[in-house]
Amino acid sequence: MTWSPSKPESVSFWCPTCKQQRDRSRVDGKCPFCRDGRAAVVCVNSYAGRQEHPCRVVGETPKRYRITVDKPTALPPKFSILAPGQTKLVPKHAVRFGSQSSS
């Protein structure tokens, strides 16, 4: 079987950015989690406990990361909803790389 970029199949590989085994699209040959930024989780502490939401880091300032999410996520302040495709600046201490949450 030869490799064909027109086939919608995927290939398993080790992603050095995510540090996890991922399925790579045969169309563009990149990790779907790292294509638009580094895969991470944003940690939110509230009165109900700690929650971790999957996100992608798409930018950085000296004290904050600019993140985007794939599903609606409530983030402080006032737990406003961050819609898919929108970006938001969050403190660097709230972002953790190398792990994914299923929340």
Range of the domain at 78: 38-97
Confirm whether 33 is domain-assigned. no
Determine, yes or no, domain membership for 45: yes
Token pair 């638009």 is at which residue?
36
How much is the pLDDT for 39? Answer: 84
In a domain, 28, yes or no: no
Band the pLDDT of 9: cuts 50, 70, 90.
Answer: low
12 domain residue, yes or no: no
Reported confidence tier of residue 100, pLDDT bands at 50, 70, 90: low
Q: How many CB atoms are closer than 10 A to CB 58?
A: 13
Residue 90 CB: number of other CB atoms within 10 A? 20
User: Over the stretch 40-86, which tens digit does the pLDDT of each residue have?
Assistant: 899 998 888 999 999 988 888 889 988 989 899 988 888 889 998 88
Q: Looking at the 3D structure of the chain, how many domains does it have?
A: 1
